[in-house]
Structure 1
């Protein structure tokens, strides 16, 4: 079986240095394994994603020398490659979860959902607890007459373990460590966890490399894959790049975005900088992604978040 990695950007703003860092490592991981790359556009939310960001991210990836074999702007047999065009596939998976009674309707406000996932420091409680999960059928029907619900995954107290390419052995109690999460919003837009699970499986992705902030998402997605009968990929969760003051880089705040970076650096210079930050040896002279493949090794990649002074 041919290995396959993926780029999965969300076109909600200009890519920043941290996005590029994880994409470079995803590309190197797939190419070092002799694999292919797919570009998928994660544009689920029509209010936050779209042009001109989609065109700009494609241009920025190509500027750095990161290519892909199938996907957006390339075609392929596993399309469509934009999530907003894949709703029918998510509908089918969602129906399976309903039949398995793995999801339940939820009428909590967004504020209530966020509060339910953020216990006070030192407080031990079940992150999966939600009052809507305990509603009777009659109560559900009464609430549905007033407004449509969101649908949440009902996380069991079950341990999910996996070996992460970068972070090593991982173990999560689904209910305690991950908690129930929205599978489909009240307006019918599908949530990130379900869409990514379906897409990675149906596109044949075998290697998922992304930021360390999504480490617990792997546990959720492995659980969903098992329920839906999918083959799971291997995961590698790389460190985040932080601003000089310790903040996470953000599209919203335009921290080190690609517009500014392209004005200041040549692509080879930026590639070399990212390589050094990752802990990989960079060849002397001009350094493009292809020159890094032979020296790529997960044992050399940093595990903890990295402060950049660019």
Structure 2
């Protein structure tokens, strides 16, 4: 008896950041993503996550595509092939991120942040990993603290979290995952004062608009996945 196929067509993605050459971790992740898409008779998208102009270069982007082709990987949509979800370079998708920021603003889910990293470190609240400082609730400001002309550029914006809230999701390899707001994560950046969207927001916006049904990524991004679930 054949297994029932999912009603939603599978759509996976390859999303390298061209800030350097690919390493072994990239290769394992991308090959797994490719295998998952092909096993599920789905589509695989190639998206170039080139948000940061100071780190991402055309040379690294070209080398990335060449290396992935050399691995025997192929994709159905991407910057070199086009597709219904174009453009496939995040550097060309800023209008989508601004639209998302406007919606978050209207819902009261983001606020401007003028505190520095030094200010946050001085407060001394570390997350459960001991690697990142939590943003204190007492540092929160009102979205009315800025002028409309400043939105959203040239100022940090943070997503408003709820202390004590559990963020839970199912990981196909590591089973159920659970993170606690106020312990594992806190209010996080969605927009940077240099005028660039933060990784978490850009990823959520693009994965949603591109119809991605499964994300294959390294275990080091589990906490980031929790933030993306909140968004």
Interval of TM-score (by shorter of Structure 1 and Structure 2) = 0.7 to 0.9
Q: Counterpart in 2 of 1:150?
A: 156
Q: Partners of 1:115 and 1:66 in 2: how far apart?
A: 47
Please give the residue correspondences for 1:1-310 in structure 2 after superposition, counting only pairs within 5 Å. 1-113=8-120, 119=126, 127-133=134-140, 135=141, 140-141=145-146, 148-157=154-163, 158-224=165-231
The 1:65/1:114 distance shift into structure 2, 3 A limit, reads farther
CA contact (8 A) 1:117 1:179 kept: no
Indicate the structure (1 or 2) with the bigger Cα radius of gyration.
1
Q: Partners of 1:178 and 1:196 in 2: how far apart?
A: 18
Instruction: For residues 46-94 of structure 1, give each alpha carbon's deviation from its aligned partner in whole angstroms, at most 9, with x where no partner exists.
Output: 1111220000000000001011000121110001000011000001111
Q: Partners of 2:70 and 2:42 in 1: how far apart?
A: 21
Higher helix content, 1 or 2: 1
Instruction: For residues 90-144 of structure 1, give each alpha carbon's deviation from its aligned partner in whole angstroms, at most 9, with x where no partner exists.
Output: 0111111111111110112244456779628898xx93425430x4678x359x9
Q: Partners of 1:160 and 1:10 in 2: how far apart?
A: 26
Q: Please, which runs of 5 or more residues in structure 1 have no aligned partner?
A: 225-310
Which contiguous aligned blocks of 4+ residues in structure 1 show a shift greater than 3 angstroms? 110-118, 120-123, 135-138
TM-score by length of 1: 0.65
CA contact (8 A) 2:112 2:146 kept: no
Q: Please, which runs of 5 or more residues in structure 2 have no aligned partner?
A: 1-7
TM-score by length of 2: 0.85
Shift of 1:202: 0.4
The 1:150/1:59 distance shift into structure 2, 3 A limit, reads same
The 1:46/1:118 distance shift into structure 2, 3 A limit, reads farther
Instruction: For residues 255-301 of structure 1, give each alpha carbon's deviation from its aligned partner in whole angstroms, at most 9, with x where no partner exists.
Output: xxxxxxxxxxxxxxxxxxxxxxxxxxxxxxxxxxxxxxxxxxxxxxx
